[in-house]
Amino acid sequence: MIAELKKHIPQVKFNGMCDDIDNSLYTVLSCSFPETPMAEMLLFNLDIKGIACSGGSACTSGSNKGSHVIQEINPNSKRPSVRFSFSKYNTIEEVDYVVDVLKSLFS
């Protein structure tokens, strides 16, 4: 997913070290996306496409406030962050679908 996001959304950034598979939890990917009009409703747009994800970090799960953890990592960023969590039950097709939806939102 990391390689595909980098290829199709060059402005994507990865929060913390999540794009370093050797030094991060392989089941979680936290990304920040470019500020665009579509980005304001990013979580909503992903939700209506059937994609379950979260804004910010696990520390603020369920909160409508921004993540203090993400704010510490990128203090001056206003980019929307999304956290994707994966399990052994996710399929390659599901990951490809998420990438396709994100491509359509940021193209």
User: Given 18, 31, 53, 59, which residue is catalytic?
Assistant: 59
Is residue 53 annotated as a catalytic residue, yes or no? no
What would the DSSP string read from start to end of 21-59?
A: GGGS-TTEEEEE----TGGGGHHHHHHHTT---EES-GG
Q: Which helix (H) or strand (E) holds 17?
A: none
Residues forming the active site: 59
